[in-house]
Amino acid sequence: MPHLRIHEAADFLAVSTDTIRRMVDAGTLVAGEGDGGRRTVDAVSVAHHAREHLRALPDPVGRHTSARNRLVGIVTEVVTDTVMAQVELQCGPFRVVSLLSAEAVREMGLEPGVVAVAVIKSTQVVIETPDGRA
């Protein structure tokens, strides 16, 4: 069973290390023991907690779509030339950059401070692990 160090669990759940310790003490997360007797947290319990308790912002568009990957964010930067534009959104902890036509940017009124939704529909997603296992 994989385990995370206290600070790693805190990073994944966007809380303090003290909060993780309180969650372990309350039985919300399962504790473990890592190398050298260090206190760890069961990674599966962190994953379950994240899935059940961390929610994205409500989608302001509210359309029915087949794209399941919708990240609500705020536009932080727009770089436009005569034909193309680069739009950057901050979606929680994630930075999403999209290339689209300058015409679309003008029509949508995209500028810093505008709330927007990044819709990601892809048949190919690459998943990597830190330890390099394939």
The pLDDT mean for the chain works out to: 84
CA distance 114 to 109: 8
pLDDT in tens, 16-52: 999 999 999 999 999 987 777 788 999 889 888 887 8
pLDDT higher than 60, residue 134 = no
How far apart, in whole angstroms, are the C-alpha atoms of residue 124 and residue 34?
35
Which residues partner with 78 through β-bridges? Answer: 87
- Residues ≥6 apart with Cβ < 8 Å to 63: none
